[in-house]
Amino acid sequence: MSAAMSVPQHRLLESPNSRTIEIGPWTITACTNPISNSGRSDALQAAIGGIPLPEMTFGNNSLELDHRESGWRYAFTTEEALKGVKNGELQEGDGGVKVGYADAWMKSRTGPSSQIPMPKTVPTKPYDWTYTTLYPGHTEPSSTKGIDWQPADRNNAKHSIPLAELTRQDPILFYAEIPLFEDELHDNGASQLLVRIRVMPTCIFILQRFTLRVDNVLFRTYDTRMYHSFASSPPLVVRETSGWEAPYDRVKGRLPKRDDLTPLTDPMWIAKVLTEMPSEITQEVGAGTRWKGLGSRVEVAMLV
């Protein structure tokens, strides 16, 4: 950061399960709570259509942004993220992953933590057992109407996320890491959704990352990046959503040490490998699932 750059006035508020920053016209609150109890889990499962919840569901976690000048409110929540999981028979584009144990595993789960098989008279509810979601956050119902996402102008530099700014060693005024859910897919992989936010003297940056590993089948990453420069006038938010996918063995082949499989459980390493591979492979062909999340899209919202 330039020596002449000043840190804007801001206020931090903390409680046992939440942290808030007030900076300029923004109020941003990150809520981090323990795994949902049975009552919250039952209510959440009903709200998302009855599909079994991930093993670790943080139903009370959220990230909320409130731009007071425009009345725009945006949030990332577990409930809305899980509503993005396919409920029902998977169709073309859903990126369904079919492996030998999938049907037997789904039939063994009657609830978010149940180990008791369903009675044979109870039909199994089909759903995407990998918990893949294309959820990019959502505009709150109480938000000002008329502020919508529009396709970015590729010729407008302000309609992109400036990586150089984000990699500078600027002070971090506010940071939060908010897990929404995680599931180990019956010890045959992992599915995880995590939100991170950084507020720096010049900007706000959010990364929500969905990571899927199905052992011996595929890796999948779906990122939502959001960026706002405090200097933008009128206020502008950039949102970039990107999906990558590759066969398990292609990613495994990039391990630094062939006998150390630890990186295969690291979402950051997985994302790095997928983004460094040719986009023709990871964002077009993928792992042959025809998943509609492949590729990238950039949108902007004017907060006026």
Q: What is the pLDDT of residues 188-231, one digit of tens each?
A: 899 999 999 999 999 999 999 999 999 999 999 999 999 999 99
Distance, in Å, from the CA atom of 241 to the CA atom of 226, rounded to the nearest integer, reads 9
Q: Report how far Cα 112 is from the mean position of its chain's Cα atoms.
A: 20
Instruction: Reply yes or no on whether the pLDDT at 270 is more than 70.
Output: yes
pLDDT at 123: 46
pLDDT at 124: 55
24-50 pLDDT tens trace: 999 999 999 999 999 999 999 999 999
pLDDT range class, residue 251, cuts 50, 70, 90: very high
Domain boundary assignment for the chain: 10-302
| Summary mean pLDDT of the chain | 93
Nearest to 87 by CA among 54, 49, 121: 49
How much is the average pLDDT of 244-248? 98
Secondary structure of residue 266 in the 3-state scheme:
coil
Positions of E strands within 116-247: 138-139, 150-151, 174-183, 189-199, 203-214, 218-229, 236-247
More confident: 125 or 131: 131
Kindly report the pTM of this predicted structure: 0.91
| DSSP alpha helix (H) spans, the chain | 38-47, 78-83, 102-107, 163-166, 248-252, 267-276, 279-280
